[in-house]
Structure 1
C-alpha cells in the first residue's frame, strides 16, 4: 500500500476547520484534524507546500517512521504550526491503519482501560445565578463534572462566557480584527470564590467542579486563588499561570493543594517535561491535534503516568470532530486518563460536514467500535462553507497594557 494523494481541505461550517485526507492506491483513506485556531491557513500552507509532496509513495502503515521523518527531517522542529500539521497526518495514518485491520484505533493502542470516557461540560453565565442554573441542567443530564466560568461584574469580555448569549461557534469569523477584552485581577480574585461557594452550597460535593484562569495570574496570585478555592474542592484549576517559566508552577505548589492542570498550547512532551518530572501539575492538557498526533500522545501518556500525572486533553470547539474522536480512542486506552473537556455535539452545519457518532451515558462518552477513528467527511458539503479569516481575542488591563488572553 502506498500514499497516492494528500488533500488539504479548509471550510467554515460556523467556524474554520482544516482537514487532511490521505488517499492510498488501495482505495483506503484516512482523515486528520489540522485546525489551529486563528492561524488556520499557516498550517494549510505548511501541509500543501512542504509535507504533502514528501508523503507521496510512502507506506501509510509505517506510522512511527513517517512521524519521525516529518519531525526530525524538517530540522526546524516543534511549534504550533509544524506540530498541528504533523498531528493531522498522524491521525489520518492511524485512521488508515484501523480501516486496514478492521479495528477501532483504541484496540490498536492496546485495548480498553475503561468502559467509557468521563467528560466535563462548560457552565457559563453572565451572573452567578445563570451559571448555577446551567450547572443544574448539566447535572440533570448526567454529567459528573462541570467547568464554571462567570462574567466578572463591571468587567468587559470575561473569558469563558458567551458574548450576547451566542453559541461558541458563532463567536468567530464575524470580526475583521481581533476583539479586545478587559481584565482586572483584583475584581476577578474578589469574585470567583463566591461562585464556587454558592455552587457547593446549592449542589453539594458529589459533582466535580473545575475552573479555567486562562493564564491571567502571576504565580503568587494563582497560589492565593488556589488556597481560597481549597474549601470548594475543585477537580483542578486550569492554566492558572503561563507555563513559559515552568518554575512558576512549583511556586504555586508550595502554597495550595488545589490540583493544577496545564498544557493545551503545548506541542511536544518537551514542553511538559519539567512540569511532569517535578510533579508540579496533576493533569496534562495537550491536544492530539496541536501535540503532533496520536503517536506522541501515547508516549506523553506513558511519561506522565510515571509521575502520577493524568491526561485531560483540551477539547474546546477549536478542535473538529476528527480530533474529538481521536481523543476518545486515546482516552479509552490511556491507563492514566483523568477527564476529557467536551463542549457538545456541534451544530447542524458542523454535523453536515463531519459524519460521526457519539454516545454519552452517565457523563461518559462511549468509544466507537467503527474501524479507524470512526469519523468521515462530506467533501461536497465542505464546499458550501468558505473559509473566513478569524481571530481569537486579545486582553488588556484597565490601563491599556496588553495582557494574556
Structure 2
C-alpha cells in the first residue's frame, strides 16, 4: 500500500479547524486534526508546503518510522506548529491502519480497558448565583464531574467566563484581533475559596469539582491557592503556574495535597520529564492534536503510569471531532485513564465531521466503526471558510501583559 494523495482542509463551522486527509492507492483514507487555535494557517502551510511532499509514495503502515522521520528529519524539533502537523499525519495513518484491519483504533492499542470514558463539563458564571445555575445545567446533561470557573469582583473579563456556552471561550475566538482580559491575582486569591464553599454548600461533598488557574500564578501563589482549596477536595487544580518552569512545581507540591494537573500547552515528553519522574503532578493534560499524535501520547501515558500519574486529555471545542475521537480511543485503551475533558460541539461542526463516537449520560465511547470513526463532509466544509480568530490576551490592572 502507498500514499498517493494528501490534502489540507481548513474550515470554520463556528471555529477554525485544520484537517489532513491522506489517501492510499487502495482507496483507504485517513483523517488527522492539525488545529492550532489562533495559528491555524501556520500549521496548514507547514503541512501543505513541507510535509505532504514527503508523504507521497510512502507506506502508510510505517507509522513509527514516518513519525521519527518528520520529527528528527526537520532538525528544528518540537514546538506547537511542528507537533500539530506531525499529529495530523500520525492520526491519519492510524486511521488508515485500523481501517485496513477492519477494527476501531482502540483495538490496535491493546483493546478496551474499560466500558466507557468518564468526562467533566464546564460550568461558569459572572457571579456565584449564575455559576450555580451553570452547574445545575451540566448535571442535568449528565456530566459526572464539573469544572468550576467564575468571574472575579472588579474584573471585566476572566478566562472561562465569556458567554453562556459550555466552554465560555467561544466569543473570544471569531474576531480579527485578540480580546483583552484583565487580571488581579490578589482579588482572585481572595475570591476563589468563597466560590468553592458556595458550590460545596449547594451540591454537597460527593460531586467531583475541578478548577483551572490557567497559568496565572507564581509557584508560591499557586501553593497558597491549592492549600486554601484543600477543604473542598478538588478532583484537580489545573495549570496552577506556568509549567515551563518544571522545578517550580516542587514548591507547590510540598505545600499542598490538592491534586495537580498540567500539560495542555506541552508538545513533547521532554516538557514532562521532571514533573513525572519526581511525581510533582497527578494528571497529564496534553492533547493528541498538539502532542504529535496517538503514538507519542500513548508513550507519555506509559511513562506516567510508572509513577502512578493518570491521563486527563485536553478536550476543548477548538480540537476538532477528529482529534477528540483519537483521544477517546486512547482513553478507552490505556490502563491509567483519569478523566476526559468534553465540551461538545455545535450541530454544524458535527455535520462537517460526522462521527461514530457517542456521549451518553456523561460518558463517551469511540464506537465500533473501523479507524477513528470520523468522516469529513468536504462540500459542507468548503461552504464555511476560514475566519481570522485569536485567543485572548491578558493584562494586569496597570496594563502589563500577563499569562493568559
Task: Report the equivalent of 2:366.
Answer: 367
1:357 shift after superposition: 3.3
Q: How does 1:111-126 map to 2 (within 5 A)?
A: 111-126=111-126
Task: Report the equivalent of 2:396.
Answer: 397
Separation in 2, partners of 1:360, 1:176: 33
User: Does 2:277 correspond to 1:271?
Assistant: no
Separation in 2, partners of 1:268, 1:160: 26
Residues 86-131 of structure 1 deviation map (CA, whole Å, 9 limit, x = unaligned): 0000000000011100000000000011111100000011111111
1:352 shift after superposition: 2.0
Separation in 1, partners of 2:26, 2:283: 41
Task: Report the equivalent of 1:127.
Answer: 127
Contact 2:356 2:369 in 1 (8 A): no
When normalised by structure 2's length, the TM-score is 0.98
Runs of 4 or more consecutive aligned structure 1 residues displaced over 4 Å after TM superposition: 164-170
Report the secondary structure of 2:237's partner residue. Answer: strand
Separation in 1, partners of 2:362, 2:18: 29
Residues 293-343 of structure 1 deviation map (CA, whole Å, 9 limit, x = unaligned): 000011001000001110101001110000110000000011001001000
Q: How does 1:230-249 map to 2 (within 5 A)?
A: 230-249=230-249
Separation in 2, partners of 1:287, 1:165: 22
Task: Report the equivalent of 2:381.
Answer: 382
Relative to structure 1, is the Cα distance of residues 8 and 246 closer, same or farther in structure 2, using a 3 angstrom cutoff? Answer: same
1:201 shift after superposition: 1.0
1:141 shift after superposition: 3.0
Separation in 2, partners of 1:171, 1:138: 20
Equivalent residues, number: 404
Contact 1:22 1:30 in 2 (8 A): yes
Separation in 1, partners of 2:76, 2:167: 38
Separation in 2, partners of 1:165, 1:282: 28
Separation in 2, partners of 1:161, 1:400: 20
1:364 shift after superposition: 1.4
Contact 1:169 1:317 in 2 (8 A): no
Separation in 2, partners of 1:117, 1:392: 29
Separation in 2, partners of 1:207, 1:58: 50
Report the secondary structure of 2:135's partner residue. Answer: helix
Structure 2: which 5+ residue stretches go unaligned? none
Contact 1:35 1:320 in 2 (8 A): yes
1:139 shift after superposition: 2.1
Report the secondary structure of 1:377's partner residue. Answer: coil
TM-align CA RMSD? 1.3
User: Does 2:66 correspond to 1:70?
Assistant: no
Contact 2:106 2:332 in 1 (8 A): yes
Contact 1:15 1:169 in 2 (8 A): no
Task: Report the equivalent of 1:8.
Answer: 8
Report the secondary structure of 1:211's partner residue. Answer: strand
Task: Report the equivalent of 1:325.
Answer: 325
Contact 1:168 1:317 in 2 (8 A): no
1:360 shift after superposition: 2.6
Report the secondary structure of 1:385's partner residue. Answer: coil
Separation in 1, partners of 2:232, 2:167: 29
Task: Report the equivalent of 2:350.
Answer: 351
Task: Report the equivalent of 1:19.
Answer: 19
1:68 shift after superposition: 0.7
Report the secondary structure of 1:224's partner residue. Answer: helix
1:245 shift after superposition: 1.1
Contact 1:33 1:322 in 2 (8 A): yes
Separation in 2, partners of 1:160, 1:168: 5
Separation in 2, partners of 1:359, 1:91: 19
Relative to structure 1, is the Cα distance of residues 115 and 302 closer, same or farther in structure 2, using a 3 angstrom cutoff? Answer: same
Relative to structure 1, is the Cα distance of residues 165 and 35 closer, same or farther in structure 2, using a 3 angstrom cutoff? Answer: closer
Contact 1:264 1:314 in 2 (8 A): yes
Report the secondary structure of 1:368's partner residue. Answer: coil
Separation in 1, partners of 2:145, 2:224: 24
Separation in 2, partners of 1:57, 1:88: 18
Task: Report the equivalent of 1:311.
Answer: 311
Q: How does 1:13-92 map to 2 (within 5 A)?
A: 13-92=13-92
Separation in 1, partners of 2:174, 2:143: 32
Contact 2:3 2:60 in 1 (8 A): yes
Report the secondary structure of 1:237's partner residue. Answer: strand
Separation in 2, partners of 1:172, 1:163: 9
Report the secondary structure of 1:14's partner residue. Answer: coil
Report the secondary structure of 1:71's partner residue. Answer: helix
Separation in 2, partners of 1:64, 1:51: 15
Report the secondary structure of 1:375's partner residue. Answer: coil
Q: How does 1:244-259 map to 2 (within 5 A)?
A: 244-259=244-259
Separation in 2, partners of 1:221, 1:262: 16
